[in-house]
Structure formats: C-alpha cells, structure tokens
C-alpha cells in the first residue's frame, strides 16, 4: 500500500522543548500548558503543542491557546516511529515545543516519563499544593530522582494560598531540584469542565480572555522566565503513501455533538487521497455526496432534541445505509445510529435506528482505556472513553483487546458495510486496514 524510503539520511534539528507532567490527574497540567503556549505566542513565538495520550478535549484548548494545530502523541497507540516523525516535523517549524503529559508522570505503560526519556525532553512537574506545605519538597525530590535517565527541569507549585505558603514550599525544596514557579490559587486559573473532561472551547464565550488571563498569571509568577533547553529531534525515513483512497468521498460529522476526531486520522485520509467533507448532524438537512460516512464521538447526549428532530438528516443517513455504503460509527456516533439515547435527566430521544441498541447516560462509571479493534480488515489501535452504557445491542463480531488487561473490551458490531463500536480508532496505527475498511467490497 505504501513504500518507505530507507535511503533517507538521518537528519537532526534542534528546538527548545518542555514536557509538562504532574503527580496525578487534576493538578492543572492543561491550564499551565495552555498558559505557557499563550504567553509565548503573544511574544511572537511559533509554539507547537502535543498532548500525550488519546484525549480529544485538551488538544482543542491547547490549539486555541497556541494558535497552531495540536496532535496527540502516544507510544502505544502511535508507535515510536510516528511520534519521532511528528516531533521532528514540529521542530523544523517551531520556536518552542510543549508536550502535555497524561495522568501522573509515571502512570501507564508506556508512561509520559517513558516518552520524555525516549526523546530526551526535560520534564516540569505540576504539583497542586493546596493541601500541603513542606511535603511539597519531598514529593518534588521523589519525582526528580525516581529515574535518573529523565531530565527533570523542576517543579511547579499550583494553587498556592499566600506568600507564607509559598515560603514553606520554597524552603522545603532540596538544593538539587528547582522550584520553577508558584502559581496562586484563583478563579482565573480554572477552565470549565463537564463529565468527560474540559468543555470544548467553542462553547466558552470568553475563552480568549480566560487564556490571556492565565498567560498573565504565568508571566507574573516567573514561570515564563524559565530557561527551556534545546532538544535534538531526529528525522524518520519518509513514508510515501499511495493514493489508495483517491476519489473516495468521506463525509465526517463535526459540530457541537460530534467533535472527537484525531488530527492524525484527518492527516492520513488526506495523504491517501480521500476527499473530505465535514457536515453537521444538528444543523444540516442532508449529507454531502459521499461514499463513506464517519460518525465520530462527542456529546450527542447534550443535543438530543436537535438530533432527534432533524428528520431529513435521519432519512439521508438511512438511505446511505440502504445504498450499502460504508459507515463508521464510534462511541457517540454509535449511540446516534442506535434506536434511542437517554440523557442523565431521563429524557429519552429516538435516534436513527440503523442497528438495535439503547444508549443510557450514567452519572458515574463507564469505561476508559486503550484498546485495539480486531476488525476483519486488520487490527487498529485506539481508545475507549465514555460515561454511558448500551443495552439491547446487536451481536458482536469481535471485542476490543485491552492494552494491559486480558478481559474483553468493547463490542464491535458489523452490519452490512456499517462498523460500530465504543472504540475511537487511530487510523495511522494500521493504514492498510483503513484503506480496506473505507473501500471494502461486499
């Protein structure tokens, strides 16, 4: 399907880079990364940000802050070669690279620390200091010395209460570990959340003002004065894709209800020659002319009445299915093409009904984790993250394979040329399988 130029010389370029990690989730990594990106952007710098892991929402905030596209970067889902290539391409055009970690610094296998070590990127660790004083220094020291192979740039104290609190923290630091900054606890350092994470910035009316305010706090704290070290990034052999999807028209749902789309998926489809057409299941009356319909995840449960009442869109999608054309429905997209979806208040909306199944939102519980989908076309890596359950569903043709647990993962449903699952697929993990899936013949 493609060939690789193994004769390409190994090239190197340098760019300042910093990996923003933490001791756990909820410490303020995204807020601080976004604030740094916005600060340097306002200084006229070209900032490129990556988000470790499969998150969709954090990259939207980081893209708004930096003014540049943000891609996920993950060793399990993407592999070392693609991660290396993305970093090298970014280093060729950026004045600064920021990488936001996922969960805690050493959580997961591979972890954010593994990625930082592999690419020799210095790590700054965010520690929420609200419930501690001198213990801060002990935690920072533990992070700095836990693995000697990692370059530890220093610790960032977040949500400090007063100058006295900041003095306790400063005095607790060991001499060989830097305290990069103390950020004060204040409302301006908060970004709005909902059940699956941060709120899409397009829904936050004052997002620009919020990001500017965070950047100002970053500047006043002295964090912006941190020396960010140059890192050498190496090129990978160039992969030349054949135009295996040339002439294939792909319609992609993208609006308030459907927005969980990996940038790498779009990049791959374009490189394969597919013609992409974005549409809104909420606002548009019909589908674009297309051979393939991709319904990604998102928040359909927040827009039930609008989705339920768009009858002409329902008809168009049903006709696409009846015409035996390809459909890929992931997570929220799968809920949309089942029989019904009930929101957290108990409101039950009729959905399109291409397959059996009733989606029900839950106030807690759900699923999160890396999984691969063993499709007939090939195994594709991805991720599941949802706060719903689906009952009365179709019989599965297979189940997702969890990255680090033997129990079966999410159901994978195949009905004619429709494929549906809770799993969000990362297309570049198996481009040959994507070509087969999007151009399959019955």
331 is catalytic: yes
CA dihedral 242, 376, 386, 60 (to 10 degrees): 0
Say if residue 98 is preceded by a cis peptide, omega within 30 of 0: no
Three-state DSSP class for 197? Answer: strand
List the beta strands (DSSP E) in 245-331: 249-253, 258-260, 275-279, 292-295, 297-298, 326-330
- CA-to-CA dists, residue 268 to 89, 96, 272, 435, angstroms: 15, 25, 6, 10
Question: How far is 207 from 194, CA to CA, in rounded Å?
Answer: 16
- CA-to-CA dists, residue 25 to 21, 28, 66, 103, 128, angstroms: 9, 8, 22, 4, 10
Question: How far is 143 from 158, CA to CA, in rounded Å?
Answer: 16
Question: How far is 28 from 158, CA to CA, in rounded Å?
Answer: 7
Per-position DSSP letters for 246-258, written without gaps between them:
TT-EEEEE-SSSE
Contact 265, 250 (CB under 8 A): no
Out of 15, 290, 331, 367, the active site residue is: 331
Contact 24, 129 (CB under 8 A): no
- CA-to-CA dists, residue 344 to 124, 287, 334, 361, 364, angstroms: 38, 29, 18, 5, 10
- β-strands 367-375, 378-386: how paired? antiparallel
Catalytic residues: 331
């Amino acid at each position: 399907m493609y060939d690789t130029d193994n004769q390409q010389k190994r090239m190197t370029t340098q760019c300042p880079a910093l990996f923003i990690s933490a001791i756990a989730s909820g410490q303020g990594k995204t807020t601080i990364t976004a604030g740094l990106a916005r600060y340097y952007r306002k200084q006229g710098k070209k900032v490129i940000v990556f988000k470790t892991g499969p998150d969709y929402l954090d990259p939207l905030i980081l893209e708004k802050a930096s003014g540049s596209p943000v891609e996920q970067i993950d060793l399990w889902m993407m592999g070392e070669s693609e991660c290396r290539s993305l970093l090298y391409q970014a280093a060729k055009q950026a004045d600064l690279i920021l990488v936001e970690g996922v969960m805690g610094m050493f959580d997961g296998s591979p972890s954010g620390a593994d990625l930082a070590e592999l690419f020799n990127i210095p790590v700054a660790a965010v520690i929420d200091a609200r419930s501690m004083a001198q213990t801060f220094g002990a935690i920072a020291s533990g992070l700095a010395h836990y693995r000697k192979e990692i370059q530890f740039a220093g610790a960032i104290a977040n949500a400090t209460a007063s100058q006295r609190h900041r003095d306790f923290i400063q005095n607790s630091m060991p001499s060989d570990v830097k305290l990069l900054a103390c950020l004060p606890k204040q409302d301006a350092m908060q970004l709005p959340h909902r059940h699956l994470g941060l709120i899409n910035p397009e829904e936050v009316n004052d997002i620009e003002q919020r990001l500017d305010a965070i950047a100002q706090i970053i500047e006043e704290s002295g964090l912006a004065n941190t020396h960010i070290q140059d890192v050498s990034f190496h090129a990978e052999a160039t992969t030349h894709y054949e135009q295996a999807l040339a002439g294939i028209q792909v319609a992609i749902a993208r609006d308030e209800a459907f927005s969980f789309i990996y940038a790498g998926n779009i990049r791959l489809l374009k490189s394969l020659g597919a013609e992409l057409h974005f549409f809104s299941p909420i606002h548009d009356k019909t589908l674009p002319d297309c051979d393939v319909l991709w319904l990604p995840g998102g928040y359909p449960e927040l827009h039930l009445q609008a989705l339920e009442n768009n009858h002409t869109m329902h008809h168009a999608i049903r006709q696409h299915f009846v015409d035996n054309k390809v459909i890929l429905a992931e997570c929220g997209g799968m809920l949309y093409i089942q029989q019904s979806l009930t929101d957290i208040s108990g409101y039950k909306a009729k959905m399109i009904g291409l397959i059996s199944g009733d989606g029900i939102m839950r106030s807690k519980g759900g699923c999160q984790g890396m999984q691969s989908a063993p499709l007939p076309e090939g195994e594709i890596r991805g991720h599941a993250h949802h706060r719903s359950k689906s009952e009365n569903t179709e019989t599965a043709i297979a189940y997702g394979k969890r990255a680090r647990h033997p129990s079966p993962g999410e159901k994978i449903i195949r009905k004619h040329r429709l494929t549906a699952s809770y799993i969000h697929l990362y297309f570049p993990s198996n481009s040959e399988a994507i070509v087969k899936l999007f151009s399959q013949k019955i």
